[in-house]
Amino acid sequence: MALTAIIGAQWGDEGKGKIVDTLSEAADLVVRFQGGANAGHTIKIGDEETILHQIPSGILRPTTHCLLGNGMAFDPVGLKNEIEEIERKGLTVNGRLHISPLAHVVTPLHKIKDAYQEDASGVKAIGTTKRGIGPCYTDKIGRTGIRVRDLFNENDLRVTLVSKTALLRRKIDMPEVEEQKLVSDLELFFDSVQRILPFVDNTIFRIHSYIKEGRNILAEGAQGVMLDIDFGSYPYVTACNTTAGNIATGLGIGPRLIDQIIGVFKCYSTRVGAGPFPTELNDAIGDHLQTRGSEFGATTRRRRRCGWFDAALGKYAVMINGFTGLAMTKLDILDEMEEIKICTHYENGEFPLLDLKDARPVYLTLPGWRESTAEARRLTDLPPRARQYLQTLEDLLEVKISYVSTGKERRQIICL
């Protein structure tokens, strides 16, 4: 395995958590290299469902180490809550959670700014998760950010936050209740900082020693290709690179150390938040996918928009990331379909020269299989038409499918 990466190949929510959970069985270390608490990775083990936002999904395996890399927008308050939830499940994070001192910190001020910018943007709002991600990365690039290493000096940090609060007050008119909430949020922030400081570690040296020892590392991407700040549907994107190129800079390794890059695709498409979505289905089929697939955002509980698989964007995702294998998730959600469409290309050009909002998809129609795939454990257990659907996707994307997921449970996976 050495270093294997898992990358979301659509608009996020592809089921990366489930694939990371499967692969983490053989991993010694699972790392995050970008994003923050805007991610929502759901893992179901037995009757218990866990939603993780910052801690990599590997934490549910008792001996796996987990690392939050320098490329992240790190939220101490969110992390403290997540640690408590994991401890309630009888697992400990002590000794196996490692946070980079170079990661940028999301403060309560970033969350206020995020919500304020969204509310003030009206129809131009991005539909962010309001987790402070955009404002935190804005500070990073503007060279005014706070990094994890700065959290060790509480006095200096308080001075910085007082002056940042004054600046924010000049920009926005905060109502009295919000002012009071900010005071209590800042105290909660300092409390959480105390809880997470013991986990700060020299993550660069740790990763390199794992690599030297030939141990297995899994890099867990968050969001997806179409939410990438450079390559996605800008400005309806997140605030960092979500694609494979960021693995190296988000962790502090050379690109040559990445052995495998698995692109995770849902067998149809979904998107939360605003922005163009060429294959969106605003009809009964879209509603069926939404209901049957329980398509609600794991972070914000918003209804996800649903549509057909878009191989025009899929091929683009393959190019940008250099996927070495694919994982196709939620095949079972298509079980009841009479027919299934795949967008093979756009009639009027190619993204990104073509504006996605103008894209006119051309569809290939395949017959549905109308049979349950939930209990399939091998490819040959699948109905022939389900195999035909997967084969068509593989032919269009020109990358081998390595995993097919047919349900939320750990056992519901076909490894090829």
Residues identified as active-site: 13, 41
Question: In the window 153-212, what residues touch Mg ion (CB under 5 A)?
Answer: none
Question: Which of ligand IMO, Mg ion, none does residue 232 bind to, with CB < 5 to 8 Å depending on kind?
Answer: none
* Among the listed residues 9, 10, 16, the one whose alpha carbon sits nearest the alpha carbon of residue 220: 16
Name the token pair of 232.
């996605």
Question: Which residues would be at the binding site for ligand IMO (CB under 6 A)?
Answer: 8, 12-13, 38-41, 126-129, 131, 133-134, 222-224, 227, 236, 238-239, 272-273, 298
Q: How far is the CB of 75 from Mg ion (least distance, A)?
A: 16
Contact by Cβ (8 Å): 35, 11: no
- In angstroms, what CA-CA distances link 266 with 15, 185, 407? 7, 37, 12
Residue 222 contact partner, candidates Mg ion, ligand IMO, none, CB within 5 to 8 A by sort of partner: ligand IMO
Alpha carbons 253 and 350: distance in angstroms, whole number: 33
C-beta of 70 vs 242, nearer to ligand IMO = 242
Helix, strand or coil for residue 51?
Answer: strand
Residues 27-46 as x/- pattern, contact with Mg ion by CB under 5 A: -------------x------
Nearer to Mg ion by Cβ, of 227 and 258: the residue is 227
Q: Which two tokens stand for residue 308?
A: 């057909």
**Smallest separation, CB 137 to ligand IMO (Å):** 9
Nearer to Mg ion, 139 or 220 (CB): 220
Instruction: With CA atoms as reference, report the closest residue to 399 among 317, 307, 279.
Output: 317
Nearer Cβ to Mg ion (45/159): 45
Q: Which residue is nearest to ligand IMO (CB)?
A: 273
Interacting residues with Mg ion between 1 and 20 (CB under 5 A): 13
**Side-chain-side CA neighbours of residue 372 (13 Å):** 5
From residue 33, alpha-carbon distances to 145, 240, 248, 326, 337 in Å are 18, 10, 8, 20, 37
Least Å distance between CB 1 and ligand IMO?
22
- How many chain residues interact with Mg ion (CB under 5 A)? 3
- Does 56 bind Mg ion (CB under 5 A)? Our answer is no
Residue 17 or 145: the one with the smaller Cβ distance to Mg ion is: 17
Query: 325-329 and 260-266 as β-strands: parallel, antiparallel, unpaired?
Result: parallel
Among ligand IMO, Mg ion, none, the one that 8 touches (CB under a kind-dependent 5 to 8 A) is ligand IMO
Measured distance CA(262)–CA(9) in Å, rounded: 9
Name residues contacting Mg ion, limited to 326-355 (CB under 5 A). Answer: none
Task: Give the whole-angstrom CA distance, residue 105 versus residue 36.
Answer: 10
Q: How far is the CB of 8 from Mg ion (least distance, A)?
A: 8
Single-letter amino acid code for the residue at 397: L
Q: How far apart are the C-alpha atoms of 402 and 302, rounded to whole Å?
A: 30
By CB under 5 A, the residues from 288 to 317 that bind Mg ion are 298
By beta-carbon proximity to Mg ion, the closer residue of 27 and 298 is 298
Under 8 Å between Cβ of 66 and 30: yes
DSSP string, 289-307: HHHHTT-B-TTT-PBPEEE
69 binds, options ligand IMO, Mg ion, none, Cβ within 5 to 8 A by partner type: none
Q: Which does 238 bind (CB under 5 to 8 A by kind): Mg ion, ligand IMO, none?
A: ligand IMO
Pick one of Mg ion, ligand IMO, none as the site partner of residue 345 (Cβ within 5 to 8 A by kind).
none
By CB under 5 A, name the binding residues for Mg ion.
13, 40, 298
